[in-house]
A = this chain, B = another copy of it.
Amino acid sequence: MKITKLAKGISLKRPLDGGNEEQLKVVRQVLADVRAQGDAAVRTYTEKWDGFVPNELRVAKEEIEAGANALDDQLYTDLKEAADNIRLYHEQQTRTGYRLDLANGSWLGQRITALDAVGLYVPGGTAAYPSSVLMNVIPAQVAGVKRIVITSPAGRDGHLPVGVLAAAHILGVEEVYKVGGAQAIGALAYGTETIAAVDKITGPGNIFVALAKREVFGEVAIDMIAGPSEIAVLADETAFADEVAADLLSQAEHDKLACVILVTTSEELAQKVAIEVEKQLASLPREEVARASVENFGAIYIAETMADAIDAINSLAPEHLEVVTKNAEAVAEQISHAGGIFIGRYSSEPVGDYFAGTNHVLPTNSTARFASGLNVDDFVKKSSIVYYSEKTWAENAPKIARLARMEGLEGHARAVESRGWEKE
C-alpha cells in the first residue's frame, strides 16, 4: 500500500462509478418490460441472466424449511444468536409519536406508523449472504411492517443458498422469491401477477440493482444507493499492525472497488501495516479481489497530529471506521461523520458485519455526511395532526388569512375565514 503524508487539502475521497449509459439503458429496458409484462418478463430475464428456468418464482414453504434443516446446526444457532443481538440493538430505536396540547383545547400531534409492505433485496448468485437477510428484515420487523418480502437471485440450480433460507426461517419470513437483478427491483416496485408491489425496497446489490433502485425511487422508497464497501482505520502507535492489516483486508476482499484506508500518527505503524498487508494477501482465498482493491483504492496516510487525522476522517465520512488509539472512546467522540464506528482493538469491523447487533447496511462513498445506516426509522413514516378548536380558530384566523394574502393565495384566506359564520 502506498504511504502518503497527510497534508491540508489532500482528499481521501475517490471518484466512483455511477454506472454507464449502456448499463442504464439495459436497466430501463428491464424495468419497462417488467412493468408491461409482469411475471413473463421476470421469467425471461431470470432465465437469461441467472441461468435457470423459474417454474415457480416464489420459494415454497417446504423449500425454506428444507434449507433451514440443511444448514449445519452450529451455524443455525450462531445465526439465531446474531438475530437476537440485532433485534435487541434495533429495539432501542422504536418511537412513538407525540401530542402537543395547546391552549383552548387545541392540539398538534405526530403519528408514527409502520410501512405496509417492504421488499428486501439480498444479493447472491455466486455467494450467500444470510447476514443481509438479518440486517434488512429485523429493523422492518421491529418497526412493525406487516408484509416483508425477500428477493434474491438463485444459483444456476434454481435454489437459494441454505444460509439465506435458514435466515428467512429463523425470522419467520414466508414470502421469498428467487428473483434477482433489475427485474427483482421492477417486480417489487410495480408488482407482477405473482409479486405484489411494495412501498419500499432496501438492500444492497450490484450496479444493475443500484441503477434500478435509483430509477424506481419516488414511485417507491429506497434505502440508499449502496456503493462498494469502505473501511478507514484511525490508529496510533498502540495498534497492532497485523490486526489493522487483517481488518483492511476484510473489506478489500468484498469487492475490487472496495476502498481501504489507514490514517495514522505513527510512521512505524504505517510501514508495518504495508508489509503485513502484503504478507496476509498472499494467503487470502480472495487474494485477487483484495489485491485489486488494495492496489487501486488502498492508501495509508501519516498525519502529524491526531487532530489532523480526525479532520481527514470527518472529511472522508467513511462507511466503517475503526478507532484503535489511546483513549479510543474520547477520540471516537470527535468523529462527526461515519456510518459505523468500531472502538478499540477487539471491535474488529466484521464483529459488526455479523453479530454485535448494529446494522451492516451503512452509507458508502462519503454519504455518511448526510445518511444513516439502515435502522427502524427507515420502515416507518410520520403524519402530522392538527386539531384547532373554535376558540383557537377565532383567535388566529385573521393572522392566517393575512399570511395567505401576502403570498397571493386568496383561496387559502377565504377557506380559513369561511368558518364560524351563521349557517342553517
Q: For the complex, give the distance between the alpha carbons of A130 and B389 in Å.
A: 26
Determine whether the beta carbon of B358 is less than 8 Å from that of A127. Answer: no
Determine whether the beta carbon of B340 is less than 8 Å from that of A386. Answer: yes
The residue from B214, B332, B369, B373 contacting A199, defined by CB atoms under 8 A apart: B369
Q: Which residue of B lies closest to A360 (CB)?
A: B384
Q: For the complex, give the distance between the alpha carbons of A253 and B412 in Å.
A: 8
Check if A49 is an interface residue, CB within 8 A of chain B: no
Determine whether the beta carbon of B358 is less than 8 Å from that of A403. Answer: no
What's the tally of chain A residues with a CB closer than 8 Å to chain B? 121
Check if A353 is an interface residue, CB within 8 A of chain B: yes
Check if A381 is an interface residue, CB within 8 A of chain B: yes
Which residues of B sit under 8 angstroms from A129, Cβ to Cβ?
A: 407
Check if A357 is an interface residue, CB within 8 A of chain B: yes
Which residues of B sit under 8 angstroms from A352, Cβ to Cβ?
A: 384, 386
Check if A92 is an interface residue, CB within 8 A of chain B: yes
Determine whether the beta carbon of A400 is less than 8 Å from that of B354. Answer: yes
Check if A40 is an interface residue, CB within 8 A of chain B: no
Which residues of B sit under 8 angstroms from A368, Cβ to Cβ?
A: 381, 383
Q: Which residue of B lies closest to A112 (CB)?
A: B372
Interface 9-mer from A54-62, A242-250, A302-310: A242-250
Over the window 406-424 of chain A, the binary record of Cβ atoms lying under 8 Å from chain B Cβ atoms (1 yes, 0 no) is 1111111111101111010
Determine whether the beta carbon of A382 is less than 8 Å from that of B372. Answer: yes
Question: Contacts A200-B370, A404-B353, A412-B253: A329 and B387 contacting too (C-beta < 8 A)?
Answer: yes
Determine whether the beta carbon of A220 is less than 8 Å from that of B344. Answer: no
Check if A136 is an interface residue, CB within 8 A of chain B: no
Chain B nearest Cβ from A366, distance in angstroms: 9
Q: Label chain A's interface by main secondary structure.
A: mixed
Over the window 197-230 of chain A, the binary record of Cβ atoms lying under 8 Å from chain B Cβ atoms (1 yes, 0 no) is 0011000000000000010011011000100000
The residue from B115, B351, B408 contacting A128, defined by CB atoms under 8 A apart: B408
Determine whether the beta carbon of B246 is less than 8 Å from that of A407. Answer: no
Which of A74, A246, A373 is packed against the most chain B CB atoms within 10 Å? A246
Beyond A348-B415, A348-B418, A350-B404: 9 further Cβ-contacts under 8 Å?
A113-B336, A130-B407, A221-B367, A240-B423, A253-B411, A340-B383, A341-B384, A354-B412, A377-B377
Determine whether the beta carbon of B247 is less than 8 Å from that of A367. Answer: no
Question: Contacts A246-B418, A382-B372, A409-B286: A367 and B218 contacting too (C-beta < 8 A)?
Answer: yes
Which residues of B sit under 8 angstroms from A52, Cβ to Cβ?
A: none
Chain B nearest Cβ from A99, distance in angstroms: 9
Which residues of B sit under 8 angstroms from A351, Cβ to Cβ?
A: 386, 388, 393, 396, 400, 416
Residues of chain A in range 319-364 having any CB-CB distance to chain B below 8 Å: 329, 332, 335-359, 362-363
Check if A47 is an interface residue, CB within 8 A of chain B: no
The residue from B81, B343, B377, B404 contacting A354, defined by CB atoms under 8 A apart: B404
